[in-house]
Amino acid sequence: MRGNPQNPMTSAAHDHLRRALEQAGWRYTRQRQEVYDYLCSVACHPTAEGVYRAVRSHIPKISLATVYKALEALASAGLVTKLPDVSGAARFDGRTEAHYHFRCARTGQVQDLPVPYSPNLLDRLDPALIDTLRGQGFHVTGHSLELFGYFERG
């Protein structure tokens, strides 16, 4: 099915991405489509370099700078999520709805936790937490949860 511009599902997906990018003030390009498609197809939350290596198999002439720009465009349009990493390269996630992660301390690889997102998690930690923080002048707008550890080597 790849490479068939008449495929209706592919066209609909391309239209969705084109509209979302253009609404955010970005141009739609085939490179951005490839980067987006790749991020939505993998569970590993790759770095920009990882995206670059994968997308190069479809677009051999794409540059790392173009991949960085595509990731910036997609993230700022709210189409993908950028996961900052204090000690290494940022990773990118094709899922934009709230969810949790676990991260391998050896490889840096990030995956989704197989549990539903809980908007009431803070209440369960302490029902007064949000009000307590508000009393200190801090307004809670959300939370994240990331487990860290490592995979045992076989």
Using CB under 5 A, list all residues that contact Zn ion: 93, 95, 112
Nearest to Zn ion of 83, 130 (CB atom): 83
Amino acid, res. 115: V
CB of 82 to Zn ion, least distance (A): 11
Task: Write out the two tokens for 28.
Answer: 């739609």
Nearest to Zn ion of 51, 62 (CB atom): 51
CB of 111 to Zn ion, least distance (A): 7
Nearest to Zn ion of 69, 95 (CB atom): 95
Residue closest to Zn ion when measured from CB atoms: 93
CB of 115 to Zn ion, least distance (A): 12
DSSP for 56-110 reads TTT-TT--HHHHHHHHHHHHHTTSSEEE--TTS--EEES--S---EEEETTT--E
Q: Any residues with CB less than 8 A from the CB of 16 and at least 6 apart, and which?
A: none
CB of 38 to Zn ion, least distance (A): 14
Question: How far is Cα 21 from Cα 29, in angstroms, rounded to an integer?
Answer: 9
Nearest to Zn ion of 34, 93 (CB atom): 93
